[in-house]
Structure 1
């Protein structure tokens, strides 16, 4: 099964990065640009929305929330995303920074849709990086590069 993988160097403490990926408020800042619904504790679910849509784009079940790893299993959303696993692994880096290893794993097959998602994940992880470093976040729609009609 193919996976989307990214490695990002972030000039911010691991705790700050963790808070941005482990809370619905944090995820909204760098990814969706609007409040998520639901809970972000292990075993709970949260929904992500983009633009003015009333229907969630995806629903995530939180499977891990540790200081060095946050993981979500997609339980609803695009067919290609169902049962995929999104993992953020954090490692300390020099001078108080953080290395983020990101994976969106267990795709059934590589496709044009997967390629577009990989591009957008890279853009949104850049939003996470710049926001964690004290600069501007670039959530949806500003951060999206590959658009779907």
Structure 2
């Protein structure tokens, strides 16, 4: 199995602010996709809808200000059964986000695309927390015909 890994520092912020952006419908729709619905509590399922499709994520674990874990329960075959892990820590004036999309069965070309898109959306998360405005779908950077 293979994983997508990213690290982002959010300047002038706290892990609590980043945690809020990844655990509330308002936060998630402010940086990932405007079409975000569902239950963000442990055991709940969050629906994320994009311009050609979407994903449903089951909230597996929440550790306020420190970590979030989701399981992909609906979406492209390559995603179903994978996990999204957010680990947060404070480093001076930076809230550090260690992001993992783990459990890919094999490193297919779609994984390369998704890694780049995760980087785009992590920059949107950074923008949202630092400035108050992210660039969620459909206003995100388009990188290919897969969106």
Q: Which residue of 1 aligns with 2:95?
A: 98
Task: Report if aligned partners of 1:117, 1:146 keep a CA contact under 8 Å in 2.
Answer: no
Shift of 1:135: 4.9
Query: Deviation above 3 Å: which 4+ runs of structure 1?
Result: none
Deviations 1:87-129 (A, max 9, x none): 110001112x200000000000001100000000000000000
SS in 2 for 1:32: coil
SS in 2 for 1:146: coil
Q: Which residue of 1 aligns with 2:24?
A: 23
Q: Which sections of structure 1, spanning at least 5 residues, go unmatched?
A: none
Shift of 1:141: 2.6
The partner residue of 2:62 within 50, 65, 75 is 65
Q: Which residue of 2 aligns with 1:132?
A: 129
1:37 and 1:113 map into 2 onto residues whose CA distance is 25
TM-score normalised by the chain length of structure 1: 0.90
After superposition, the CA RMSD in angstroms is 1.5
Q: Which sections of structure 2, spanning at least 5 residues, go unmatched?
A: none
Task: Report if aligned partners of 2:31, 2:128 keep a CA contact under 8 Å in 1.
Answer: yes
Shift of 1:130: 1.1
1:65 and 1:29 map into 2 onto residues whose CA distance is 20
Greater fraction of residues in strand: 2
